[in-house]
Structure 1
Amino acid sequence: MKLQPRQQLLDIWKAVARASLDGDRWAWGGRDGSNSISDTEQLLCLMFPASELTAFKIDVPDETAEDVLDALSTLGDSVEVPKRLIRVISEYLDTYTDDLGRPVFAGGSYFKSSEPGQEPTKEQQALDVVDSFSMSVTLMLSVLGFLKVFRRSVRREELLREILDVEQRAAKRLSAAMVNLLRSFTINAFEPGSAAGRALIRSVNQTGSPDRRVIEELQRQLTGVRAGLRDLTIGSAQVDLDNPTCCSNAAGAGASSRARPRWRPTSTSGRSPKGRRPTCRSCISPSSR
């Protein structure tokens, strides 16, 4: 089988560009409709390769490759493509910013109920979701890199002001996503002989080795991780990681922990209603809160 990654990526771009335009308007929404995850993924299909792969860059109009222009011809020429993407990114940031100017990471239509025939409530759909935090970090980094390079070739004051506005809002969303992502995880330390410890050993021990050897090997491999986790004390209680016999795990925001702080939003840290925790995408019941 002959692999052609460049051509395959160009084909993806062509399909995304074709599917994303409804006349002259950008068409949002994936299989679950428009939400902060699906819309981020849609933009990432274009922005991530453009920012990471030199051959796919679109931020210097005079240097855009011909096959890239052909794949994105639906969006315009080498000058119009980046300008259109700036408008689309601005629309995305407008959509996922609330009336108080705080970034929104709600799951919305991304959530599905575990109860047949029922839909998540509006309150549940308004819950922030870890997937949105993590992908927003990647997208905003791609956007900021793209804008930084593209503005060097821009002379029109109006377009420069538009780029500056998008840059500021993208940086704000990046900061909010990073803070929320950090606060969405909890560290739990436990003894190897506890129920959690035995479950971890069973999961790790795929060769039937003695438990003591498994524990020693696990501790050896996690030495660097344990050392780094000691520094993660922002907004959280201190966890005992100094005992070499202890095990630990880092759980996503769907897990419950008394050590996790209640999130209190600030003007730059994103939106998460008082008393609510961000959630993972795991199925939620309409009766849950």
Structure 2
Amino acid sequence: MRIQPRQQILDIWSAMMSTCWDGHEWSWDGIVDRNSISDSEQLLCLLYPATEINSFALANPARIEGDVGAALAPLGIEEPIPSAVVSLLERYLRQNTREDGQPDFSAGSYLSSGDPAKEPTKAQREIEVVDAYSMSLTLCMSGLRFVRAYEIGVKSESTRQRIKSITNGLSARLTAAMTGLMRSFIVKKVSPKSPEGQVMIGMLNRTGEPEKMVVSGIARSLEHVRSRLRSDIKLDDVTVEALDDENMLFECGWSWGTVRGAAPVDFIEESIAHKPGIADPRPYLYFTVIALDGINDLMSQRTGELALLDEKQHRLAQALRTRWELTQTYWSTVARFGSGAWPLEDIPWRTTDGEQSDYFSLIVSAVLIQDLVAGTASDDDLTRAVAIFDELAGRGRIIRRPLSGDPAIALHTPGVRLTLKGTERVDNGPILQWEASDFAAVLLKRMLQAARLSNNITARAKLLELAKLTMDHLAARRIHTGPARGLWDDPAGIFSSDEADRVGQPSWYMTERVIECLVAAERTFRESAPNWPELQTVARLLVNTAEHRYHQEMLNVSADNVPDALEHVEEHIDQGEGQIREDAATAIVRAIDALRELDKVATGRRDAARSG
């Protein structure tokens, strides 16, 4: 299936109108009851394309493109589409603000009990997780971009007051989300002799080196990260002492929520900056990548251009950027550690708590690709990553047929279950779990990002081929009946023939991730095609051939009587020669045009000679 981001986003928007909008009220529920995260995901399905892709912009009603307006037509029956989006933002802020006026980031129905005999308590449903902070960060940035653009054409004072209120609400929520991410970051010391240290050494030691040499090699590879963690980030004394000792290992990243013992953020007054954390003080790979993605949206060029952040938010953004850089460098380094086969190539990846899964390999690959996007990894690294994506697509039963009872199905449904250690401390409830079921969407997004950057024609072709196959897989998982037709996620479309397993309600968790993939695809396709070295070679050969034949034909004419056709040939050759380094494909077209004209001239000359 071809990936056609414009049409596929419009199809999702049309499906959202059928599912969420009855003409008067917007429905926020899906396959599970609404919560702060699903609300962010649902609204991002609309706002993320609208603020990331110019042709989907909704802020100016006079400039909404025809097919975009048609897809959202039901939303614009009672009021203009931009005004309806403003109403949705108002509702979002109301239902995700606590009675005391503080932003609500509770995970609610996304949390499940790890004990089948116990349900999560009410207090546990209010637990906040990194996913809520990250999704809110992205939603607030999108919302602020939208209202900033919408405000330009607004004359009504009452509407301006609404916009001001929304801007203040989104800004307050953004500050809280950034603060939550700050306090969820963790650097964990790991003793080489501990069970965690032994798992790490075993994972990174692909050549059977003595343990002491491996620890020393890890220390050398991570010296820059270690040094910046000590100097640029506020850490507790125990962690600083551990980082000073090169015989100690360490991990960095984001836990599932605000870490137990996290230091307060002293320049933020909101309660989230000071209340005690409960999350286990160790990085979780899933939540680390979720945090990295959110912070990446915060650092986009458009954020600076629009001056969306206030002074405190700038301080938070700089602190988060430092953590983003160091975390990416850390995981990219350990993924490629050593001189032989990468640890990442030894699928599945094993975390220091002893868990292993193909999903963890995918998550580490995602960090590696983001590192390539940031410009710190090489194209050779990308070429090696292609083989990893290919292997994961096969193991994840995306490009291979699943068998009956295939354990790989669990990667997609119910997903990889992550135990949120520390949740059992809340209200004497059961330990809670998080289900990560976005394997296919994560794979697709990272392959599209990689393809946008690749200068290797074989690697790019393979990535785009795998992306099409992954889109086939995801297309088969769309809901096919009922009002939610065209949204996600119905895994039974791939993994079950039993009609009882079919799903009719949307998963905003999965639908939003498909939207992210389509936005990534639009960015990839919007870029100019790579100017392959091989293509430049062909272009140069054709231009040189055309130029040589042009000179041959010029031998047959006088300088003061050059035919118009040959003057056109000269123009094509000059244009082609000038485009070889920048746009070899167009240079080839120019050369072919020149050769075609030259063939006509030569044919005419031969015909004239025969008739004479």
Indicate whether the TM-score tops 0.5.
yes
Pair 1:189-2:189 in alignment: yes
- Distance in 2 (CA, whole Å) between partners of 1:67 and 1:32 is 31
Q: Greater relative contact order: 1 or 2 (C-alpha under 8 angstroms, separation 6 or more)?
A: 1
Aligned to 1:167: 167
* Residue in 2 that maps onto 1:260: 262
Deviation at 1:85, TM superposition (A): 1.1
Structure number with bigger Rg: 2
- Secondary structure of 1:33's counterpart equals coil
TM-superposed deviation, 1:67 = 1.4
Cα distance in structure 2, aligned partners of 1:194 and 1:53 = 49
Q: Which range is displaced more, 253-262 or 68-77? A: 253-262
The residue correspondences of 1:58-69 to structure 2 (distance < 5 A) are: 58-69=58-69
Secondary structure of the 2:134 match is: helix
Residue 246 of structure 1: CA displacement?
3.3
* TM-aligned CA distance change 1:139 to 1:214, over 3 Å: farther
Gaps of 5+ in 2: 281-286, 288-417, 433-612
TM-score by length of 1: 0.85
Q: TM-score, normalised by structure 2?
A: 0.42
* SS of residue in 2 equivalent to 1:62: helix
Separation (CA, whole Å) in 2 of partners of 1:256 and 1:100: 20
Match of 1:247 among 249, 254, 275: 249
Amino acid at match of 2:278: R
The verdict on how the C-alpha distance between 1:278 and 1:158 changes in structure 2, with shifts beyond 3 A counting, is: farther
> Could you say if the C-alpha distance between residues 257 and 159 of structure 1 is closer, same or farther in structure 2, counting changes exceeding 3 Å?
closer
The answer on whether the counterparts of 1:102 and 1:267 sit within 8 Å (CA) in structure 2 is no
Q: Distance in 2 between matches of 1:118 and 1:32?
A: 18
Q: Do structure 1's residue 287 and structure 2's residue 430 form an aligned pair? A: yes
Distance 1:55 1:255, change over 3 A: closer
Distance in 2 (alpha carbons) for counterparts of 1:216 and 1:123: 45
> Matched residue of 1:82: which SS?
helix
> 1:29 offset after TM fit, Å?
1.7
Q: Describe the superposition over 1:203-249 as per-residue Cα deviations: whole angstroms up to 9, x where unpaired.
A: 334x445356655665565455434433221xx51423344443211
Q: Secondary structure at the match of 2:200?
A: helix
Please give the alpha-carbon distance, in whole angstroms, between the structure 1 residues aligned to 2:53 and 2:100: 36
The CA deviation at 1:62 is 2.1
Q: Kindly indicate which of the two structures has a greater share of residues assigned to helix.
A: 2
Q: Which moved more, 1:167-176 or 1:17-26?
A: 17-26
| Structure 1 equivalent of residue 329 of structure 2 | none
Query: Which amino acid is the alignment partner of residue 121 of structure 1?
Result: T
**Change beyond 3 A, Cα 1:145–1:224:** farther
CA shift digits 1:32-59 (9 cap, x unpaired): 2110111110001111111111121111
Letter paired with 1:168: N
Quick one: which amino acid aligns to residue 106 of structure 1? S
Q: Which amino acid aligns with 1:237?
A: D
- Of stretches 88-97 and 241-250 in structure 1, the one that deviates more from structure 2 is 241-250
Counterpart of 1:108?
Answer: 108
Amino acid at match of 2:251: N
The percentage of aligned residue pairs carrying the same residue is 34
The offset of 1:185, in angstroms, is 2.4
Counterpart CA distance in 2 for 1:55 and 1:168 is: 27
- Name the SS of the counterpart of 1:153 in structure 2: coil
Alignment of 1:69-148 (within 5 A): 69-76=69-76, 80-148=80-148
Cα distance in 1 for residues equivalent to 2:125 and 2:53: 35
Report deviation, 1:100. 1.6
User: How many positions carry a matched residue from both structures?
Assistant: 285
Q: Determine if the alignment matches structure 1 residue 177 to structure 2 residue 177.
A: yes
Does the 8 Å contact 2:154/2:160 carry over to 1? Answer: yes
SS state at 1:101 partner = coil
Query: How far 1:277 moved relative to its partner?
Result: 2.4
2: CA distance between counterparts of 1:75 and 1:63? 16
SS across alignment from 1:248: strand
Judged with a 3 Å threshold, the aligned counterparts in structure 2 of structure 1 residues 123 and 25 are, in CA distance, closer, same or farther, namely: same
Stretches of structure 1 that go unaligned for 5 or more consecutive residues are none
RMSD over aligned Cα, in angstroms? 3.2
Distance in 2 between residues matched to 1:135 and 1:183, nearest whole Å:
16
Counterpart of 2:233 in structure 1 is 232
1:222–1:7 distance in 2 versus 1, CA, 3 Å: farther
- Superposed, 1:205-220 pairs within 5 Å as 205=205, 207-210=206-209, 215=215, 218-219=218-219
2:87, 2:116 → 1: CA distance?
40
Does 2:278 correspond to 1:277? yes
